[in-house]
Amino acid sequence: MTHSPAGEPVEPQSPGAAPLPQAQGPSPAVRATGVSKVFATKTGDVAALSDVDLDVAAGEFVALIGPSGCGKSTLLRLIADLDQASAGTLEIFGKPAKRARADQDYGIAFQQAGLLPWRTVGANMALPLELHGTGKAERTARVAELAELVGLTEFVDRYPDQLSGGMQQRVAIARALAARPRLLLMDEPFGALDEMTRERLQTELTRIAAETAAAVVFVTHSIPEAVFLSDRVVVMSPRPGRITDVIEVGLGPDRSEALRESPEFFDLVTAVREALHGRSPVAEPVEASLRQAQGPGTRQGPGTRQGPVERS
Amino acid sequence: MTDTATTTLAGPSRAAGTATGERRLPGWLRWVAPVVVGALIVVLWWFWVDVLGTAPRMLPSPFAILAEFVKRWPIIAQDMAITATNALIGLVIGSLLAMLFAGLAAAARPIDGMLAPLVAALAVIPIVAITPILNTMFGASSQFGRQAVATIAAFIPVFVNVLRGLRQTRPVHRDLLRASAASGWQTFRFLTLPTALPYLLTGLRIASSLAVIAALVAEYFGGPADGIGTAIATYAKSGRAALAWAYVLGGILIGLVFYLVTSLLERLATRRAQV
């Protein structure tokens, strides 16, 4: 047999992670073009984001990672229309962000679960539906589905203060999914959880994202978290906040616990870390603590469970 | 997943547990301790008046007061009803006005700026001081002066607390409501109002005591010849000490009822801890 040309095998990676073609008919979940954000402060203007271009395809899972002040949360808030961009355009499924928000095209979860303490778990999950006039019977049915999805069926009638932090965060995710959005925005939703809960919820989230087929934009401080969850890791850098690198993960749709200990996983973690540290594999002393907190195999105990808080 | 969830569930007693954890008194002791103190005071009081006999003439023994209270209960109850009604009208109207103005002040900065000095003035003026003027203004047969005094007394704490409560919404909740495209009215109904509710009820609890005190003290400065305050003043002047004290007991009962009811409401409203 003759040798096949070396270029023949089209990438050894799994097909699920192949960059989704931009040429497909429907508009992407998120399209940011030349987006900048300047905050006016007492000491002068601060450029939180500078000329950011980002496309997130429908159904794609994109993690935004970077040190504090790199504008990743700001970018998420702009997508959510919680803040307005100073320059550039943002489109959510081809619509302006404001329209997308009004149409409930996205669901959102924050680092704090942000549950309303006077509402039951079920009523918290149903909040977006109630705000949009969904009937009671339909709400009840949807709450049952959501509770099933996040594994809280027995807790629908409890109140948030009766739940652990991880369970509260699951309620917040269920709430974000209540209106069946095609886009899920998550701002360090697991940032305040301990490592064990965090890994369990990460596995849950990959399953939920696959089941709902929603695109996800996920802000995080944690390199392993970003690699484990996403199809693409967008690496950002501060002063001014900008995108410095985009890393295709290509681990395929199946994200099981075993993946966390696989060599490909570690390679990607290393790749993201090097991108974060400006391509220098040796960490500078200042960054040593960051590396330690975010390195692979982070079974370190409770000391590192809370990532640095980006926005106070 | 659900089994781990069950183990991590803190249980409904968590909030209560932290509250009682601060001082570990057994349940029965928390009831018995104040009862013992009360009994001790009564015994000392009785000892001073009836055994030693050195007490002032205007301080009769606790048992004489109680006997007078039971004997004169029908008329004491009538006067209690007058004073309690005045206090209740003052509390309700004062609170409603306070909520209305606090809502306006929270909605618009200029209104807040206009109301702030007015409320500060109301808060520092001892309101019973204007009672004689009000009584003269509205006539000696009208309860209006007393009710007005109770209204003003109740207004201040409710206004201050509600205004504060309306500004306590958390950024994450505001972001959530905005992200869910909630209208202004929906944000108020689903977030601002429930957040402010515990503050309102704290204000009501404070206002309830003040309204009773104001309604009672206002009676010392004229107006119709009825009510607890009027009776205390009358019988004290005419030297009927036990009856005067029996009316004081009636006043205490009114205050206690107002306080207990509003405290209960407050506890109901604040039973869900922030998460």
- Which whole-number Å values give the CA distances from B257 to B66, B72, B266, B270, in the listed order? 19, 20, 14, 20
Question: 3-state class of B183 per DSSP?
Answer: coil
Per residue in A270-279, is it b (16+ CB within 10 Å) or e — as a string? Answer: ebbbbbbbee
CA of B12 to nearest chain A CA: how many angstroms apart? 5
Mean pLDDT in chain A? 78
What SS3 class is residue A70? coil
CA–CA min distance B7, chain A (Å): 10
pTM (predicted TM-score): 0.73
- pLDDT band, residue A185 (cuts 50/70/90): very high
Distance (Å) from the C-alpha of residue A21 to the closest C-alpha of chain B?
29
Q: A12: burial class by Cβ within 10 Å (0-12, 13-18, 19+)?
A: exposed
- Residue B50 domain-assigned? no
Asked if residue B14 belongs to a domain, the reply is: no
DSSP B37-105: HHHHHHHHHHIIIIII--S-TT---HHHHHHHHHHTHHHHHHHHHHHHHHHHHHHHHHHHHHHHHHHHH
Report the pLDDT value the prediction gives residue A270, as an integer from 0 to 100. 84
Q: What is the mean pLDDT of residues A153-167?
A: 88
B176 within 8 A of A114, measured Cβ to Cβ: yes
B254-259: average pLDDT: 94
A185 token code pair: 């925005």
Confidence of residue A213 (pLDDT cuts 50, 70, 90): confident
Q: What is the pLDDT of residues B96-134, one digit of tens each?
A: 999 999 988 888 888 888 888 888 888 787 777 788 888
Domain with B171 in it: 79-274
Residue A235 has pLDDT above 80, yes or no: yes
The distance of B175 to chain A (nearest Cα, Å) reads 7
Q: Is B50 exposed, middle or buried (0-12, 13-18, 19+ CB in 10 A)?
A: middle
Question: What pLDDT does residue A18 have?
Answer: 43
What CATH number does residue B251 fall under?
1.10.3720.10
Does B49 map to a domain? no
Residue A310: is its pLDDT beyond 80?
A: no
Looking at the domain assignment, is residue B202 inside a domain? yes
Of the candidates B1, B12, B186, which has its C-beta nearest A151's C-beta? B1
CA closest to B1 among chain A residues:
A151
Half-sphere exposure of residue A143: CA atoms within 13 angstroms, side-chain side:
22
Cα separation of A37 and A78, whole Å?
Answer: 9
- For residue B234, is it within any domain? yes
Q: Which of B1, B179, B197 sits opposite A108 (nearest CB)?
A: B179
Looking at the domain assignment, is residue B72 inside a domain? Answer: no
- Cβ neighbors of B31 (< 8 A, separation 6 or more) are none
Q: In this structure, are residues A88 and A35 in contact, taking their beta carbons and an 8 Å threshold?
A: yes
Q: Which of A120, A163, A175, A310 to mutate to test the interface with B (most CBs of B within 10 A)?
A: A163
Does residue B258 carry a pLDDT above 90?
Answer: yes
Tens digits of residue pLDDT in B191-216? 998 899 989 999 999 999 999 999 99
Is B37 domain-assigned?
no
What count of other Cβ atoms lies within 10 Å of the Cβ of residue B31? 11
What's the CA angle centered on B134, arms B128 and B138, to 5 degrees?
Answer: 150
Structure tokens at A41: 């402060």
CA gap A79, A95 in Å, rounded: 11
Order of strands across the sheet with A106-109? A106-109, A183-187, A215-220, A61-65, A232-237, A242-248
| Out of B11, B186, B274, closest to residue A117 by CB | B274
- The pLDDT value recorded for residue B97 is 94
The reply to whether residue A167 touches residue B9, judged by beta carbons under 8 angstroms, is yes
Which residues in chain A have their CB less than 8 angstroms from residue B272's CB?
Answer: 117-118, 159-161
Q: Which two tokens stand for residue B270?
A: 């604040």
Q: What angle do CA A270, A275, A281 make, to 5 degrees?
A: 55
Helices (H), B225-240: 228-237
Contacting A with CB below 8 Å, chain B residues are 1-2, 4-6, 8-12, 14-15, 170, 172-173, 175-182, 186, 190-191, 194, 197, 272-275
**Total number of domains in chain B:** 1
Asked if residue B90 belongs to a domain, the reply is yes
